[in-house]
Chain A
Amino acid sequence: MTEALPLPADTPAGLRFQDVRIARAGQPLIALDAHIAPGDVLTVMGPSGVGKSTLLAYAAGFLDSVFQASGAVLVDGTDVTRLAAHERHMGLLFQDPLLFPHLSVGGNLAFALPPRLRGRAARKAAIAAALAEVGLAGLEKRDPATLSGGQKARVALMRVLVSAPRALLLDEPFSKLDTALRGQIRDLVFEMARARGLPVLLVTHDAADAQAAAGAIVEIAPA
């Protein structure tokens, strides 16, 4: 499963890792050169501690200053590496839903909804539609702490999606869900990403996740 990945150089659409190399104190940690077309999933697999999450942090703009990185990340042909983290619009999902505990479910989605969508009514409608899309219609006023694990995961997913990201970065987002829920949420995430034509980078140590992603897989060995 480690054969050369297709790199359609003439179509810039999608998420491209262009000769990305990350090192820590001079020691090479992780390298990736890959292109993810819209709607595709690239899975980066490896045991914990090999720097998979570092790769996501680099793409999202949160790389700790103890690391040195070279290369570039391009979204639809534009280099985002030079942009501030909040201008990159990389949707992030972690293994915890990380819903803001001080905001209601609706408040969490409103925080994510871009300001260019104007008008209270329009914003409320967008939030209601997003919740309905994942079977949570009418839960706007709920305290996130009162939701079940599966509900939280779905709210977290919709929070990312309503922010209109240009790509999705998934950091073991299913690893804390129990087995029954896991497959369900996983399918939901990939289905939504495909429907919206989002390129997805999935980082995981679980072979089942990789298989379900049904995309190219890059194995990272411990350095």
Chain B
Amino acid sequence: MLRAAPFLTLALMLGPVIAGLAGTLLPAAGYVPALGGTSVSLEPVRALLAQPGLATSVLLSLFTGLAATLGAFVIVMLFTAAFEGTRMFRGVKTLLSPLLSVPHAAAAFGLAFLIAPSGWAMRLVSPWANGMTRPPDVLIIGDPHGLAMTFGLMAKEIPFLFLMVLAALPQTKSLAARRVATGLGYAPVAGWLKVVLPRVYPQIRLPVFAVLAYATSVVDVALILGPTTPAPLAVRLVAWMNDPDLSFRFMASAGALLQLAISLGAIGLWIVGERLAIHVGRRWTDGGGRRFADRWVALAAGAGMAALIGALLLGLCVLCLWSLAGPWRFPDALPAHLSFDNWLRHLGAISEAVGVTLSIALPVTALAVVLALACLEGETRKGRALRHRTLPLLYVPLIVPQIAFLFGLQILFLLCGLHDTLLAVALSHLVFVLPYVFLALSDPWRAADPRYGHVATALGAPPDRVFWRVRLPLALRATATAAALGIAVSVAQYLPTLLIGGGRFASVTTEAVALAAGGNRRLIAIYALLQMALPFLAFALAALVPGVAFRARRDLQPST
């Protein structure tokens, strides 16, 4: 079992990606006998290129994704440079950790309810400040340039990048390096950018690529905040894929390959930017400049961080309000009254969606945790970490755009009769849950003191006993956190649930996004809150269980 675990893990994680890509390639070339395509042709590509507004869709996907990633990256880097080690920095850290588990769709809904013309922000300043008694007739949500979408993606990626930086900082001895730089007369931001960034960046590079790939191919956020005339490419692909006219699928597959090219192209552009930044950065470092407009950078980064976190948090507040709202006319700042009527009225549908969501998330997470533990325990017994060779492989499912291989995977499941089954949906979720669970578990596992295992072994405990009685209990907190992350990842999946499940499995996420086009804010708010509540509950349990299990053991209580 332990010997097979790494192979099984890789097969379950990469198999669907590779098979799915192949399954996308064939229909893109016109070859799917089941759908009447028996000869290889360029017809799907031609049909794709003939679609009106294709170039606009492509540019939208590329530039909203690049801008959102770059914006989030710059804010996180400059904020860390200016504030690391301060009380504000620690405050932001405690605020952002729970926000990481908020699914993209929920964050996007919150933002939409906040900044829309009839949104909360406008209600709060109307009519006393601007004299408005009806919402202004402007396009904020779904603006043709995708600004709202970019802003939403940026706000949601900041917690992720920030926590990745936090994880990387201790290994770079950043505070000591900063002290040395300060001693040499460097202002905080300049010093950090010159001595810490070059060591932090290599460690967050793959996560940045994952963000880029995600942001350039996102569907749920684009459906909620993005433009519609035309929509970003990924949104149009899903519409074609779900078109009753099956012949659209050939074109959709060709489009999925175009999407792959866009996401990889964005990463390529980013790498070009890296080279430029390294070149400029070296010259700047060699020049010995001691400042980098430190005061202004601190001000701008602080303001940017505050604005985005504030928007996320206010968005969540307004979701709570809407889910409980009775009549709420514009421009009232608050609903006329609050009650649980909305929740009670939809209780049946709600509990069904929660049931579907958990029936996917729980077994998938359990399997992912078992596989990750088996891989890590096998590695410990062999006494050698495979870290460097396997790490990039873990990121493959996170870097290849979902849509590029889910189309093919859907067709493959169709061919082997697994289409529209819970098993198929679970397998597709596993592709994304496994890497996150593994990444969350591997660092604490490998950082554990190996001598505990040695002592136990020397006392005569066989390997299995050492695992169950010593290594696993000591890693219980990390395991619980990894499991909570797995649940959060599974709950947030929109595209795999929709495409692989053939629309048959209404999870809280697919329900929420499906409601986006309609105007029922109360119902949307309920589903968006459920989307948040499930991961949040999982993390709360993960924090609670080890604390209770080891309540009498001081060294196993969470520090501070």
Contact = CB atoms under 8 A, between A and B. Distances in A.
Interface stretch (A4-12, A38-46, A60-68, A119-127): A60-68
Given A101-B474, A101-B553, A146-B554, A90 B451 contact: no
A102 B474 contact: yes
B451 A145 contact: no
A144 B553 CA distance: 8
B221 to A, nearest CB: 42
Given A64-B383, A65-B383, A86-B463, A102 B458 contact: no
Interface string B455-497: 1111111110010011001101000000000000000000000
B553 A163 contact: no
The interface residues of chain B, by DSSP majority, are classed as helix
A96 B454 CA distance: 13
A145 B553 CA distance: 7
A148 B552 CA distance: 17
A102 B556 contact: yes
Interface string A93-137: 010101011101000000110100000000000000000000000
Contact of B457 (A61, A96, A145): A61
B452 interface: yes
A208 B473 CA distance: 38
A145 B383 contact: no
Most buried by B among A89, A100, A112, A159: A100
Contacts of B137: none
A192 interface: no
A87 B457 CA distance: 8
B452 A86 contact: no
Interface residues of A, number: 33
B468 to A, nearest CB: 11
B460 A96 contact: no
B474 A111 contact: no
Contacts of A101: 474, 553, 555-556
B451 A100 contact: no
A98 B555 contact: no
Contacts of A220: none
Contacts of B382: 65
Nearest to A63: B383
A14 interface: no
Given A98-B449, A101-B474, A102-B474, A86 B553 contact: no
Interface in A27-74: 60-62, 64-65
A143 interface: yes
A62 B454 contact: yes
A158 B436 CA distance: 42
A91 B460 CA distance: 9
B384 interface: yes
A186 interface: no
Nearest to B461: A86
B478 to A, nearest CB: 13
A112 B462 CA distance: 12
A19 B40 CA distance: 70
Given A86-B462, A101-B553, A143-B553, A92 B474 contact: no
B263 to A, nearest CB: 39
Contacts of A86: 457-458, 460-463, 466
Contacts of B292: none
A168 to B, nearest CB: 10
Contacts of A102: 473-474, 476, 550, 553, 556
29 contacts: A60-B457, A60-B458, A64-B383, A65-B384, A85-B458, A86-B458, A86-B460, A86-B463, A86-B466, A87-B460, A88-B458, A89-B460, A94-B455, A96-B451, A98-B449, A98-B451, A98-B455, A100-B473, A101-B474, A102-B474, A102-B550, A102-B553, A102-B556, A111-B456, A111-B469, A143-B553, A144-B555, A146-B554, A159-B459
Closest 6 CB pairs of A and B: A145-B554, A101-B555, A92-B458, A163-B459, A145-B555, A102-B473
Given A86-B457, A91-B458, A159-B459, 5 more contacts: A84-B462, A85-B457, A88-B458, A101-B556, A145-B553
Interface of A: 60-62, 64-65, 84-92, 94, 96, 98, 100-102, 104, 111-112, 114, 143-146, 159-160, 163, 165, 169
